[in-house]
């Protein structure tokens, strides 16, 4: 058993898809308080949650589903959950708002957050995002086999997607739900456009030389292709998606990302986004 699992008695490393980050409790706590309720009164019998002090590193997915269902009943159903999520103070989403300045637009931030952050916080879900053009995207969340399904969580996820642009002080995204069931949320999302003058990321990709003709950089500056890879990386694309976009090999992109991280002294992709916005 790893140290990461110490908050889940009896949990093994093979059970990672049936747990959720304890940080997810913070938003639930704010939603409960919006209705004049304390989350502590609703966690009796949930051994990985019912404790004083800061939230645990991990809680079981079943416990989290129980909490979301109790919240849903307290709010009076999905519409009540949506009202609560829109009504809580914006500092309830402080982690999102603190990172918004590192991205050129809501869609880029949403893609990065969904591809890079959410899988580690809610590993029981599969996520897909397909660009349709004109700031429109098809977005899918699907509960993995063997993981307890919950329509309550997916209802809340839909609202979070709608609210994403508000962290940029923009109108809500327009969401057309194609499927909403206990196991699947499939929707078309139209994000509001951002003034092109504010899209710092566009300035990173100046041209598209081939990998073969690109001269290496030995002075710590990024090559033109590395700048292009960085621009796509900060939009939330995976190495495979970057390779497909640029028409190159995934292994080539992997080496380019490693080179970028080394040149920009970044430990991970999130830190790369921070350093990129500070040094466009």
CATH number of 199-278: 1.10.10.10
**Any idea what DSSP says for residue 28?**
H
Chain CA centroid to CA 53, Å: 26
Percent of the chain with pLDDT over 90: 11
Alpha-carbon distance of 47 to 21, in angstroms, equals 15
**Contact, 124 vs 18, CB < 8 A?**
yes
Most confident of the ranges 31-35, 137-141, 150-154, 238-242? 137-141
**Contact, 39 vs 55, CB < 8 A?**
no
**Contact, 27 vs 122, CB < 8 A?**
no
- Closest C-alpha among 280, 225, 274 to residue 253: 225
User: What's the pLDDT tens digit per position in 247-275?
Assistant: 888 888 888 888 888 887 777 777 776 66
Q: With H, G, I as helix, E, B as strand and everything else as coil, classify residue 69.
A: helix
**What does residue 184 show for φ and ψ, rounded to 5 degrees?**
-145, 135
For the residues 42-46, what does the mean pLDDT come to? Answer: 59
Alpha-carbon distance of 224 to 100, in angstroms, equals 25
**What does residue 133 show for φ and ψ, rounded to 5 degrees?**
95, 150
CB atoms within 10 A of CB 237: 23
Structural tokens at position 32: 């409960």
**Contact, 230 vs 260, CB < 8 A?**
yes
**Contact, 69 vs 150, CB < 8 A?**
yes
Alpha-carbon distance of 35 to 30, in angstroms, equals 9
User: What's the pLDDT tens digit per position in 198-219?
Assistant: 444 443 333 344 444 454 454 5
> At 42, is the pLDDT very low, low, confident or very high (cuts 50, 70, 90)?
low
The more confident residue out of 172 and 258 is 172
User: What's the pLDDT tens digit per position in 62-95?
Assistant: 888 888 888 888 778 878 878 878 877 666 676 6
Q: Which is it for strands 174-180 and 184-190: parallel, antiparallel or unpaired?
A: antiparallel
For the residues 179-185, what does the mean pLDDT come to? Answer: 93
If residue 190 lies in a helix (H) or strand (E), which one and from where to where? strand 184-190
> At 276, is the pLDDT very low, low, confident or very high (cuts 50, 70, 90)?
low
- The pTM assigned to this predicted structure is 0.63
Which pLDDT value is given to residue 193?
Answer: 81
**Contact, 152 vs 68, CB < 8 A?**
yes
């Amino acid at each position: 058993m790893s140290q990461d699992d110490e908050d889940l008695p009896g949990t093994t490393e093979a059970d990672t898809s049936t747990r959720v980050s304890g940080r997810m409790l913070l938003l639930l706590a704010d939603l409960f308080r919006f209705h004049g309720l304390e989350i502590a009164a609703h966690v009796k019998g949930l051994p990985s949650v019912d404790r004083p002090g800061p939230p645990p590193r991990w809680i079981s997915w079943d416990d989290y589903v129980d909490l979301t269902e109790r919240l849903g009943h307290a709010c009076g159903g999905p519409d009540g959950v949506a009202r609560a999520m829109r009504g809580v103070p914006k500092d309830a989403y402080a982690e999102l708002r603190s990172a918004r300045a590192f991205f050129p637009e809501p869609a880029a931030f949403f893609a990065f957050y969904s591809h890079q952050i959410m899988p580690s916080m809610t590993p029981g879900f599969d996520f897909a995002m397909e660009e349709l053009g004109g700031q429109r995207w098809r977005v899918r969340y699907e509960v993995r086999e063997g993981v307890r399904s919950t329509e309550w969580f997916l209802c809340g996820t839909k609202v979070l997607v709608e609210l994403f642009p508000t962290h940029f002080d923009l109108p809500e995204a327009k969401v057309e739900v194609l499927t909403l069931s206990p196991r699947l949320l499939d929707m078309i999302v139209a994000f509001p456009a951002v003034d092109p003058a504010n899209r710092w990321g566009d300035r990173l990709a100046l041209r598209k030389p081939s990998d073969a003709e690109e001269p290496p950089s030995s002075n710590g500056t990024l090559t033109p292709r590395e700048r292009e890879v960085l621009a796509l990386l900060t939009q939330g694309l995976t190495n495979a998606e970057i390779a497909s976009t640029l028409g190159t090999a995934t292994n080539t992109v992997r080496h380019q990302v490693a080179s970028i991280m080394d040149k920009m002294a970044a430990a991970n992709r999130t830190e790369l986004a921070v350093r990129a916005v500070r040094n466009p």
